[in-house]
């Protein structure tokens, strides 16, 4: 067996690590990925897991809520363990202070060199994939993903940390804990990988809106087509400007590229602009979207790509979607879709796939 998945509830991180060690005692874990409720943060799950799995590379994130196979839980830790049958090797790097000017070229070069250089990776592109975990408090994912995309062809998939009631957000690498950082892991898979993204949203209006004034770093949108963005958004929806807040959840924005939609969700109206959960650069063309059927769309996306028995599936599912599923009592049918595979996931504060995105299930499939 190349990948195992477990869900654990413990009294503290040490208890979780001991339970994980017992559950994986006959498994040679090469790489361990975990999503731990921030409930465990005061006892540092990374340190305890590193003690329990001294020969494994470990990365993780805090989470609001966790997924494992067919279950949705909270106050738990979801763990995926991979052995040599699923990954040949893994390289982990941490980039700190990502809110400041980001220079990740050296880190990327180091990771590529670890595997023999960029030519080796280019020639075996279907084997190499990256996982990226952002500490969401930094709010720098858009710029980081842009720089990362400039620096390498390796496809990175991942998400931003979230938090339970205590509102503590962290990411982890090996035995260390980080704030304001990004944790990157490049995997050399044995049988390859697939990536899929489903946003359960479709285009409401074909009208393209050009972003003419925005603040990407602070995620503030000011103008579409040289007019106040709220006014144009209201026009597309056919509602009055004072009502637009009522449509923020059901009608997010998206950059539409072929069949793919890169969603940006609204936060709140702020002075003369609207804040988003993911910034938009000036020059981008967007459409107004409408939210669809999360379960049906996710099933279709999974079934279109996963036509084989995968070794493991990692689901970065937007926290907004989790809230919506909880409101609509859809977590059971949603989780049943992922129960078909060894899978883990968590409710993210944003997802990563070529850029930073919102309101998706972004899924890495290890073959």
Binding residues for another protein (CB under 8 A): 122, 125-126, 146, 149-150, 153, 155, 211, 255, 257-258, 260, 262, 280-285, 354-355
The answer to whether 64 and 74 have CB atoms below 8 angstroms apart is yes
Closest CB to another protein among residues 179, 225:
225
**Residue 20 CB, nearest distance to another protein (Å)?**
35
**Residue 323 CB, nearest distance to another protein (Å)?**
26
Interhelix angle 141-151/105-114, nearest 10 degrees: 50
Buried-state track 159-186, b at ≥16 Cβ within 10 A, e below 16: bbbbbbeeebbbbbbbeebbebbbbbbb
Contacts of 209 (CB under 8 A, 6+ apart): 224, 225, 232, 233, 236, 285, 286, 287, 288
The answer to whether 85 and 121 have CB atoms below 8 angstroms apart is no
DSSP 247: G
The token pair that represents 81 in the structure block: 């363990």
Closest CB to another protein among residues 278, 313:
278
**Residue 158 CB, nearest distance to another protein (Å)?**
15
Closest CB to another protein among residues 76, 214:
214
Closest CB to another protein among residues 273, 345:
273
**Residue 55 CB, nearest distance to another protein (Å)?**
33
Closest CB to another protein among residues 6, 365:
365
Contacts of 272 (CB under 8 A, 6+ apart): 222, 228
**Residue 40 CB, nearest distance to another protein (Å)?**
34
Closest CB to another protein among residues 87, 255:
255
Closest CB to another protein among residues 228, 281:
281
**Residue 201 CB, nearest distance to another protein (Å)?**
17
**Residue 63 CB, nearest distance to another protein (Å)?**
26
Report how many helices (DSSP H) and strands (DSSP E) the chain contains, helices first.
Answer: 9, 27
Among candidates 157, 105, 102, which has minimal Cα distance to 132? 157
User: Distance of CA 209 to CAs 186, 218, 251, 282, 358, Å?
Assistant: 36, 20, 14, 11, 19
* Cα–Cα distance measured from residue 267 to residue 349, given in angstroms and rounded to the nearest whole number: 12
**Residue 128 CB, nearest distance to another protein (Å)?**
12
Among candidates 11, 359, 325, 361, which has minimal Cα distance to 158? 361
* Cα–Cα distance measured from residue 56 to residue 312, given in angstroms and rounded to the nearest whole number: 18
Buried-state track 141-155, b at ≥16 Cβ within 10 A, e below 16: bbbbbbbbeebbebe
Closest CB to another protein among residues 104, 138:
104
**Residue 135 CB, nearest distance to another protein (Å)?**
22
Closest CB to another protein among residues 4, 147:
147
Among candidates 169, 239, 155, which has minimal Cα distance to 204? 239
């Amino acid at each position: 067996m190349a990948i195992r998945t477990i869900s654990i509830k413990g009294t503290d991180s040490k208890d979780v690590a001991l339970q994980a060690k017992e559950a994986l005692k006959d498994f040679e874990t090469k790489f361990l990925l975990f999503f731990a409720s921030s409930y465990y943060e005061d006892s540092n799950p990374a340190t305890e897991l590193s003690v329990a799995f001294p020969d494994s590379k470990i990365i993780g994130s805090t989470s609001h809520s966790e997924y494992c196979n067919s279950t949705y839980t909270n106050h738990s830790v979801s763990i995926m363990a991979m052995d040599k049958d699923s990954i040949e090797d893994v390289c982990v790097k941490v980039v700190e202070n990502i809110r400041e000017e980001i220079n990740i070229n050296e880190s990327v070069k180091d990771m590529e060199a670890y595997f023999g250089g960029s030519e080796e990776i280019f020639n075996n592109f279907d084997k190499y994939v990256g996982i990226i975990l952002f500490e969401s408090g930094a709010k720098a994912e858009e710029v980081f993903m842009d720089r990362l995309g400039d620096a390498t062809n390796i496809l990175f998939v991942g998400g931003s940390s979230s938090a339970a009631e205590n509102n503590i957000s962290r990411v982890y690498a090996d035995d260390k804990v980080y704030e304001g950082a990004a944790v990157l892991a490049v995997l050399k898979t044995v049988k390859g990988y697939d990536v899929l993204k489903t946003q359960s949203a479709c285009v409401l209006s074909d009208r393209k809106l050009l972003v003419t004034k925005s603040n990407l770093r602070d995620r503030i949108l000011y103008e579409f087509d040289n007019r106040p963005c709220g006014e144009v958004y209201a026009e597309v929806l056919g509602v009055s400007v004072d009502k637009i807040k009522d449509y923020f959840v059901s009608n997010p924005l998206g950059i539409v590229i072929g069949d793919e939609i890169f969603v940006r969700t609204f936060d709140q109206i702020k002075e003369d602009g609207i804040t988003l959960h993911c910034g938009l650069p000036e020059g981008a063309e967007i459409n107004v979207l409408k939210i669809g059927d999360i379960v049906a769309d996710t099933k279709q996306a999974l079934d279109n790509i996963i036509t084989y028995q995968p070794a493991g599936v990692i689901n970065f599912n937007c926290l907004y979607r989790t809230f919506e599923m909880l409101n609509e009592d859809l977590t059971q049918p949603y989780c049943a879709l992922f129960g078909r595979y060894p899978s883990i996931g968590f409710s993210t504060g944003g997802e990563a796939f070529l850029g930073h995105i919102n309101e998706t299930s972004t899924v890495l499939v290890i073959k």
